[in-house]
Structure 1
Amino acid sequence: MMKSVLLYYPFEVAENANSGSKLRPKEIHKAFQQWGSREGVNILLLSGNSAERESLFEQWKAEGKLDDLWFCYMENQTIPFWLTDKGHIPKKPFIDTKVMKFLKQRHVPVGVFYRDVYWKFDELYPLKGAKKAIMKTIYRMEENFYNKYCDVIFLPSDAMGKFVDINREKVSLPPGGKESQIVRNERVNEKAQGLYVGGINNEDYGLFLLLDALQLANKEGSICELTVVCREDEYKGLPEEKKARLQEMNVAVKHVSGEALNALYREMDFAFIPRYRSTYNDFSVPVKLVEYLSNELPVIATYCQAQQEIIETDDYGIICEDNSTAMAKAIENMAKDAEHYRENIQKTFLQKHSWLARVEKIKSTLIK
C-alpha cells in the first residue's frame, strides 16, 4: 500500500501569493508533490476554511484515505488558526482538534511550522488594551495546542526558538530557494551594480543607512552604483528631501516585479539587506535573502543573527555591522570579490536550500 503524507493548512491557500507568508505554503506543497512523485508517496492537502476542512476530513476518513499516514506537516498563519475563516469567526471551531486527536490516536508524527512571534513584542504588535489581552490569550492557547499535539516545531530560524514557549523539539526551516534559469548579462559597465529590493518607508529597513555607506564607498571615485526596487506608492510618499537625495546620488529607482524583476537580477552584481539589528530582526529570515541567492546574487547584509548564519555558513556574501563605515568597507570588498561569492552560491545553494531540501528535512526530522 502506498504511504501517504498529510499537509494540514488550517486556512485558504492564497491564489495570488504576493508576500512571503502566502508564498511559503504553496512552495512547500509544490515541493512535497515533487518529492512524493519521486519517492512514491501520496500527498494529501487538507486546507480551506473550517467548514471545507471538516467535510474533506470526514470524506477522506470514510474513504480510508487517512488509514496509512506516514506523518503530517502543518503550517500556521500570522494569526491563530481558529481565526483564519472570513470575518475571523470559525464555522467549525473544533475541526483542528478533531484532526489532531485522530493523528495522535494513530501515532502519526506531526510537525508544525510556527511562523511568527511578533505578538510577544510590544513595540511590534499594533493592538492595545483589551483586544491585545484577548489576542495574547488566544496566541497562548495556540502554543498550548501545539505543545499537546505536535512532536516538532519548525521555525524560520534557530534564533527564534528562545521566544517560543512550546516544550518540543525545535528545528529551523527557513524559506527555500527556487531554481531559476540564470544567464548573466554581459557587463557593459565598469562599476559594480548593487541592488536593494524592499520597503523604503521604514527606518528599520536601512535604505538610508545604505545610502550613507554608498556615499563613503564612492568618495575617492565611484566604484558602485545602486538600483532600488520598491512600491510606487511608497516612493511617492517619501519626504521630498529623501527623494532629492536618491536623485543626487544617481540611484535608479524602479517599481518592477515578476519577469521584469528577474531580468533586473541578471544585470546586478550583488544585493543588500541593510536592516538595523534588533531582537526581532535577529531571528527573522527575509524572503528577499533566498530570492537574491536563488538568482545567484551575493549579499551584503547586516549582522542580524539568522541571516548572518545562512550567509556565513557557506560564504555567500559579506556581513557587516549596521553602521555606514562598516557597510562602506563591505561594499569596497564586495566590488572586488563578488565573483568568488557567486561561485559558492552556484556550488551549494540549491542543494542545501531549495524547497525540496526543506521537505527532505521535514521528513528526516519527523521520521527517525
Structure 2
Amino acid sequence: MNKRCIFHVPNYIDPQGKSGSQVRPMKIKKAFENIGFQVDFVMGESKARKAAIKKIKHNINNGVRYDFLYSESSTMPTLLTDKNHLPLHPFLDFDFFKFCKKRGIKIGLFYRDMYWKFGEYKQAVPVHQRTITVPMYKYDLKMYNKLLDILYIPSSGVRSYLPECYTPNVVCLPPGAVLNQHILEKRRTYFETRQKGSIKIFYVGGVNGVYDLSLTLKVLKQKPFVNMTICCREKEWEEYKSYYAPYLTERIQIIHKSGEDLQPYYLQADICSCFFEATEYRSMAMPIKLFEYVSYTTPIIATKNTEAGRIMEEHQIGWSLKYEENEFSDFLDKLYENQDVLKEKHLKVVSYLYENTWECRAKKVAVELGG
C-alpha cells in the first residue's frame, strides 16, 4: 500500500527562502518524499489552504488513507498568517485538524519556538501589536492541547516554557543535516591532508543584536594565526560595519553569499561559529545554521548554557566555551598548538551527521505518528 501523508503549513513558504522558518518546512517535506511518502501539501495564504483542505477532505471522504498529518507552525499566530495579518478564515486550520482527528488521523505539529515569551520579542514588537499577538499565540497553544497527538519542539529547553496544563506528548525534533557524499569526500581529504597553519573560522548569519560578533573579533585581532570569514546580508553589514571597524583586520573577510555559493568557504573551513552571548532565549533556541555546519562536517564552537553548547558537550562535535574573552583566547592558543584535534572533531561530526539527517527526522515522525 502506498504511503501518504498530509503536510500542513499555515502560511506561504518561499522555496528559495533563506531563513530557518522558510528552509525547514521545505527540507522536511522533501525528506518525507525521500523516504517514500506521497505528500499532500496544505500551504499558502488562507485562500490557497482552503482549496487544498477541500481537496484532501474530498479524498478522505472517498476512501483515501492518510498515515498522519504533520504540521509546522508559523512564526506568526495561526490566525494572522495572511499578508494583511487579518483573521480572514479564523476557523480554517483548526477545524481541519478536528476533521482529521475525528477520522483517526494522528496529528503532530512542530512548534517553531516561543520567541514571544522573551524580552527580545518585547523589544522588537510594539506594545499595541503584542496586545493582539500574545493572546493569539496562547490560543494556538490551547488548540494544540486539544487536538494534537504529539507536539514537536526544537529542543528540550522549550518544554519548560510550555504551560503546566499542556498534556499531549512533547517530543524533540531538532533541524536536520544534509548528507552529500561528494562533500563528505572533499572534507575527508581536507582534514586528512591539512598541515599545521592558520586556523580558518567561518560564520554565516546576522551581525546585529543577539548576533553581536564584537567579542569574537576583538579576540581575533590579537591572534595573527586566525582568519575569519563572515557571511551576512550586505544591507545589514553596511549598517553595522562602523560598529565593527575597530576590530577589523586584513584577516577578517566579509562576504554576502547564499546557497551553493557558500560551498567553497565551507570546504576550506576548520571551525564554524555559534559563539554568542548566552541569553535566556538562546538557552532553548536551536539554530538551524548549526545543522548546515554539520552538513559540511565542520567542528563547531558554541557557548556554554545554550542549546548549541549542550550539543557540543553531549556529542563532542565541537567546543562549548564560556562567553568570555580570556576563555576564547586561551582556547585559540591551545588549538593552534594542537591542531590534530580538528581532524578528531571532524570525524565525530561525520558520525553525528549520519544519525541526524532530515530523512532521520522524517522517519522519526512517521514511526511516532503511525506511518
Task: Give your verdict on TM over 0.5.
Answer: yes
Deviation, structure 1 residue 241: 6.1
Residue 298 (1) aligns with residue 321 (2): no
- Letter matched to residue 140 of structure 1: K
Deviation, structure 1 residue 237: 1.9
Aligned to 1:174: 174
Deviation, structure 1 residue 162: 0.9
Q: 1:105 aligns with which of 99, 102, 107?
A: 102
C-alpha distance in 2, partners of 1:33/1:199? 32
C-alpha distance in 2, partners of 1:79/1:241? 31
Aligned partners of 1:51 and 1:91 also within 8 Å: no
Aligned to 1:233: 235
SS of aligned partner of 1:234 = helix
Q: 1:127 aligns with which of 114, 125, 128?
A: 125
C-alpha distance in 1, partners of 2:260/2:295? 14
Aligned to 1:139: 137
Q: 1:207 aligns with which of 206, 209, 213?
A: 213
Q: Which residues of 2 match residues 1-368 of structure 1 at below 5 A?
A: 1-36=1-36, 41-64=37-60, 67-125=64-122, 126-165=124-163, 166-180=166-180, 181-182=182-183, 183-184=186-187, 190-202=197-209, 204-215=210-221, 218=223, 222-238=224-240, 240=242, 242-247=244-249, 250-335=251-336, 336=339, 337-346=341-350, 348-367=351-370
Deviation, structure 1 residue 188: 8.2
| Cα deviations by residue, 1:19-75 (Å, 9 ceiling, x for unpaired) | 111011100100001112xxxx43222222222222222223324466422211111
C-alpha distance in 1, partners of 2:40/2:130? 36
- Letter matched to residue 169 of structure 1: N
Which stretch of structure 1 is more off in the superposition, 154-163 or 227-236?
A: 227-236
Deviation, structure 1 residue 350: 2.5
Aligned partners of 1:319 and 1:330 also within 8 Å: no
- Letter matched to residue 274 of structure 1: F
Aligned partners of 1:7 and 1:74 also within 8 Å: yes
Aligned partners of 2:70 and 2:107 also within 8 Å: yes
C-alpha distance in 2, partners of 1:164/1:178? 30
C-alpha distance in 2, partners of 1:47/1:252? 39
Structure 2: segments with no counterpart, 5+ residues: none
Structure 1 residues 148 and 19, CA gap change in structure 2 (3 angstroms):
same
C-alpha distance in 1, partners of 2:353/2:34? 15
Aligned partners of 2:274 and 2:308 also within 8 Å: no
- Letter matched to residue 79 of structure 1: M
C-alpha distance in 1, partners of 2:257/2:325? 27
- Letter matched to residue 48 of structure 1: G
| Cα deviations by residue, 1:178-232 (Å, 9 ceiling, x for unpaired) | 1233224575882121122222232x3241111233345x2xxx33222222222
SS of aligned partner of 2:216 = helix
Aligned partners of 1:11 and 1:85 also within 8 Å: yes
- Letter matched to residue 53 of structure 2: F
Structure 1 residues 241 and 94, CA gap change in structure 2 (3 angstroms):
closer
C-alpha distance in 1, partners of 2:240/2:46? 42
- Letter matched to residue 56 of structure 1: A
C-alpha distance in 2, partners of 1:162/1:142? 17
Deviation, structure 1 residue 259: 2.6
- Letter matched to residue 195 of structure 1: F
- Letter matched to residue 218 of structure 2: D
What is the TM-score with the length of structure 1 in the denominator? 0.90
Aligned partners of 2:79 and 2:89 also within 8 Å: no
C-alpha distance in 2, partners of 1:75/1:3? 20
- Letter matched to residue 353 of structure 1: N
Deviation, structure 1 residue 283: 0.8
| Cα deviations by residue, 1:317-344 (Å, 9 ceiling, x for unpaired) | 1110011111122223444211110011
- Letter matched to residue 361 of structure 1: K
What is the TM-score with the length of structure 2 in the denominator? 0.89
Aligned partners of 1:11 and 1:48 also within 8 Å: yes
Which stretch of structure 1 is more off in the superposition, 114-123 or 59-68?
A: 59-68
C-alpha distance in 1, partners of 2:303/2:331? 10
- Letter matched to residue 74 of structure 1: S
Structure 1 residues 310 and 234, CA gap change in structure 2 (3 angstroms):
same
C-alpha distance in 2, partners of 1:316/1:273? 13
Instruction: Give the total of aligned pairs.
Output: 357
Deviation, structure 1 residue 301: 0.9
C-alpha distance in 2, partners of 1:90/1:42? 30
Deviation, structure 1 residue 141: 0.7
SS of aligned partner of 2:84 = helix
